[in-house]
Amino acid sequence: MPDSSVSVPAEVLKALQTHDRILIAAHANPDGDAVGASAALGWALRMLGRETLLYNETGFPDYLGWMRLPCPLLRDLSALPGKPGLIVALDSGDAGRLGEELQTLLKEVPVVNIDHHQGNPGYGSAANWVDPAMSATGEMVGHLAEALGLSLEGALAEAVYVALASDTGSFSYGNTRASTLRMAARLLEGGLDIASVRARLDNNWSESKLRLWGRLMSEARILDNGKLGVSIVSRALLRECGASREDAEGFVEQLRKIRGVRVALLLREEEREGSIMTKVSLRSSGADDVRKVAAQFGGGGHKNAAGATVDLPPEKTLTVIQPYIRHVWN
Ligand code: 5GP
Ligand code: MN
């Protein structure tokens, strides 16, 4: 039974019903919500007998490699058999996050933009459904599937669960609403094997991830009288641990656990086209707004979880970002 407190915009339903060959895309370097929302929408459209394509510029992360996908994932648009009739963009606060390669197609094909990031400018040319009150884009896709007459079952339910659990910290962050939990209840009523999905999500670490987290824990810096927790993930550290960039995913949450820490900051060194950059991840709690910090550097996200990419090495990024972080608690 759909949730009567939520209404899916009619223009979104209409666009999905009138166009075929629907290309589903989410932000590059996708998290559990981006992957879960993409897979869930793909399953929903497939259950309705629609021709569907799944695309992500950087592919899906290995730790979600066990998820069932409705069709093979494309990483390269040159593999597309002709132009799609519609693009559905998921979990992307701005069009740029979908990746360089998709930008031309976004201007040529009607776009439906479904997202829960505050500040999303509404770049969908066919329809926009942007609701920052939604816990996850996967929650929106769940409502959409139900509005299309589907029950949340099987691989569709698994994908919605991954999205919800990923963006709500397994139903613990402030974005968890009664309607989020009602959707989770419908997933269980539809037969979701929650223990089995959780085991695949949780008991899935590589040894290199364990070693990396050990090093990050012992080397974490606690600054600003205990209010700021910082970790730097350098490429050298990843090499020493035999770890991948994906292995650092989620560590920023550990820094937030430290008593007194109000802002957790993870700085990951990246090399792009020969220059060194830093992927910034910020976390906070309650009224402390880190999205404003990320926005100063061209990034975005949510009040308590935000990110950006800065054109400087990690140590320099720390120096530049620290004064903005101090505004969070001042
Ligand atoms: P994470 O730190 O896990 O990469 O991202 C936390 C939140 O910030 C997510 O909602 C994510 O979509 C958003 N975010 C991360 N990096 C960027 C970025 O470079 N630009 C924007 N607009 N949002 C970002
Ligand atoms: Mn999300």
Beta carbons of 282 and 301 less than 8 angstroms apart: yes
For the CA of 92, the nearest atom of ligand 1:
12
Closest ligand to the CA of 116: 2
CB-count exposure of residue 299 (10 Å: 0-12, 13-18, 19+): buried
The reported pLDDT for the residue numbered 155 is 98
For the CA of 283, the nearest atom of ligand 1:
2
Residue nearest to atom 20 of ligand 1 (CA): 299
Residue with tokens 């730790």: 63
State yes or no: pLDDT of 122 exceeds 90: yes
Q: 5 falls in which pLDDT band (50, 70, 90)?
A: confident
Q: 172 falls in which pLDDT band (50, 70, 90)?
A: very high
Stretch 50-79: mean pLDDT: 96
Percent of the chain with pLDDT over 70: 100
State yes or no: pLDDT of 79 exceeds 90: no
State yes or no: pLDDT of 2 exceeds 90: no
State yes or no: pLDDT of 322 exceeds 90: yes
For the CA of 249, the nearest atom of ligand 1:
3
- Please give the Cα distance from 298 to 96 (Å, whole number): 11
**pTM for the full model?**
0.94
pLDDT digits (tens, 9 = 90+) for 222-265: 999 999 999 999 999 999 999 999 999 999 999 999 999 999 99
Cα of 19 from ligand 1 centre, angstroms: 30
pLDDT digits (tens, 9 = 90+) for 85-114: 999 999 999 999 999 999 999 999 999 999
Residue nearest to atom 2 of ligand 1 (CA): 281
The reported pLDDT for the residue numbered 107 is 97
Residue nearest to atom 10 of ligand 1 (CA): 301
pLDDT digits (tens, 9 = 90+) for 263-276: 999 999 999 889 99
Residue nearest to atom 12 of ligand 1 (CA): 301
Rg (CA), the chain: 20
Stretch 4-24: mean pLDDT: 95
Cα of 195 from ligand 1 centre, angstroms: 28
The reported pLDDT for the residue numbered 227 is 98
Count CB atoms within 10 A of the CB of residue 214: 11
Q: 81 falls in which pLDDT band (50, 70, 90)?
A: confident
pLDDT digits (tens, 9 = 90+) for 151-164: 999 999 999 999 99
- Please give the Cα distance from 35 to 137 (Å, whole number): 10
Cα of 167 from ligand 2 centre, angstroms: 6
Cα of 301 from ligand 1 centre, angstroms: 5
Extended beta strands in the chain, E state: 22-26, 52-55, 73-74, 86-90, 111-115, 127-130, 221-223, 228-233, 263-272, 275-283, 300-301, 305-310
Cα of 225 from ligand 2 centre, angstroms: 31
Question: CA neighbours within 13 Å on the CB side: how many for 4?
Answer: 0
- Please give the Cα distance from 65 to 68 (Å, whole number): 8
The reported pLDDT for the residue numbered 30 is 97
Percent of the chain with pLDDT over 90: 97
Burial pattern 267-283, b for ≥16 Cβ within 10 A else e, equals bbbbeeeeeebbbbbbb
The answer for 285, left when phi > 0, alpha when psi is -120 to 50, beta otherwise, is beta
Cα of 240 from ligand 2 centre, angstroms: 31
- Please give the Cα distance from 286 to 230 (Å, whole number): 19
State yes or no: pLDDT of 189 exceeds 90: yes
Calculate the average pLDDT of the chain: 97
Cα of 137 from ligand 1 centre, angstroms: 13
For the CA of 167, the nearest atom of ligand 1:
10
User: Considering Cα of 281, then 287, then 288, then 294, what sign does the dihedral take?
Assistant: positive
Q: Residues with beta carbon inside 6 Å of ligand 1?
A: 31, 93-94, 97, 281, 299-302, 305-309
Kindly report each contact of residues 13-17 with a partner whose C-beta sits within 8 Å and lies 24 or more positions away, as own/partner.
13/144, 13/147, 13/148, 14/127, 15/86, 15/110, 15/112, 15/126, 15/127, 16/45, 16/50, 16/86, 16/88, 16/112, 16/144, 16/148
Q: Ion ligand 2 — residues with CB under 5 Å?
A: 33, 91, 137, 167
